[in-house]
């Protein structure tokens, strides 16, 4: 798992410096630890690309596997 940097302002959200097109619903933020937060937000995408694992770790990827099955 690699933590991301999210900036939330009244009119924009950026993820690792990339602006996101998001819904009018406010994101919810859960603090899991002092330096770890879980952010829930709706993001609109014109294109989705499912890429294979580039890190080659033995860690399971259940979310990616579920999306791949649905595609």
Percent of the chain predicted with pLDDT > 90 = 13
54 domain-assigned: yes
Mean pLDDT of the chain: 81
Question: In the prediction, which pLDDT does 33 show?
Answer: 92
40 domain-assigned: yes
Instruction: Count up the domains in the chain and report the number.
Output: 1
List the domain range (segments joined by +) for residue 62: 6-70
Question: What is this structure's pTM?
Answer: 0.57
21 domain-assigned: yes
Q: How far apart are the C-alpha atoms of 29 and 40, rounded to whole Å?
A: 6
**Is the CB of residue 41 less than 8 Å from the CB of residue 13?**
yes
1 domain-assigned: no
- Indicate the pLDDT class of residue 68, thresholds 50, 70 and 90: confident
23 domain-assigned: yes
42 domain-assigned: yes
Alpha helical stretches, state H, 24-71: 62-70
């Amino acid at each position: 798992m690699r933590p991301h940097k999210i900036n939330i302002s009244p009119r924009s959200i950026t993820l690792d410096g990339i602006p996101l097109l998001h819904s009018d619903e406010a994101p919810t933020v859960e603090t899991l630890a002092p330096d770890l937060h879980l952010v829930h937000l709706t993001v609109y995408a014109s294109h989705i690309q499912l890429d294979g694992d580039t890190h080659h770790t033995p860690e399971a990827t259940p979310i990616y596997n579920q999306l791949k099955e649905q595609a």
